Amino acid sequence: MQVPVLKQGDYLIASIQSVLSDADLIQLRDNLGARVGDYRSRGVIIDVTVLDVIDSFATRMLRGIAHMLKLRGAETVIVGIQPDVAFAMVQLGLTLEGVGTALDLEEGLAYLNTKTKRVAVDGD
């Protein structure tokens, strides 16, 4: 199932609606890569609240998406990782190193607000 991507001001919000296959994740990556350019977005929120498992492939994809978008000039924050899912990721030794994470959508927006503002100040 394709992940809908909504535009919210300078940000894009990718809200995962159901369990994702590998192909869906690859499609999300390609979609976000293009959209960030189309909308000149400064930040991207990926909401993974509904995911019941984040395995090694999903972790690698999320990390890859965040790093790719960074190269395109946008910050990424992953929100909504459930406690059990986080625990399983720790057990698997999976990390989202270098990728922003936040509790939920609200915290994710706050994260992007500080992150993109600081980048703007640094650039002055």
Partner 1 sequence: METETQTAINSAVDIVTARQRGRALALELGFNGADVTLIAAAISEVARNIVDHAKCGEILMSSVNGQSGGRPGIQIIARDQGPGIRDVAQAMQYGYSTRKGLGVGLPGAKWLMDEFDISSEIGRGTTITMRKWKR
Among 6, 50, 92, 119, indicate the residue that binds partner 1 (CB under 8 A): 92
Compute the least distance from the CB of residue 14 to partner 1, in Å.
19
Residue 6 as a binder of partner 1 (CB under 8 A): the answer is no
Report which of 54, 58, 114 is spatially closest to residue 90, judged by C-alpha positions: 54
Report which of 95, 97, 47 is spatially closest to residue 67, judged by C-alpha positions: 97
Stretch that binds partner 1, among 37-45, 72-80, 85-93, 104-112 (CB under 8 A): 85-93
Residue with tokens 């869906």: 24
Among 94, 99, 102, 112, indicate the residue that binds partner 1 (CB under 8 A): 94
Site for partner 1 in 18-57 (CB under 8 A): 19-23, 52-57
Among 32, 44, 45, 59, indicate the residue that binds partner 1 (CB under 8 A): 59
Compute the least distance from the CB of residue 80 to partner 1, in Å.
15
- CB atoms closer than 10 angstroms to residue 100: 19
Distances 71 to 31, 34, 75, 88, 94 between C-alpha atoms, Å: 15, 13, 9, 29, 23
List the Cα angle 31/59/36 in 5-degree steps: 25
Name which of 22 and 104 has its Cβ closer to partner 1: 22
Residues that bind partner 1 (CB under 8 A): 19-23, 52-57, 59-60, 83-85, 87-89, 91-94
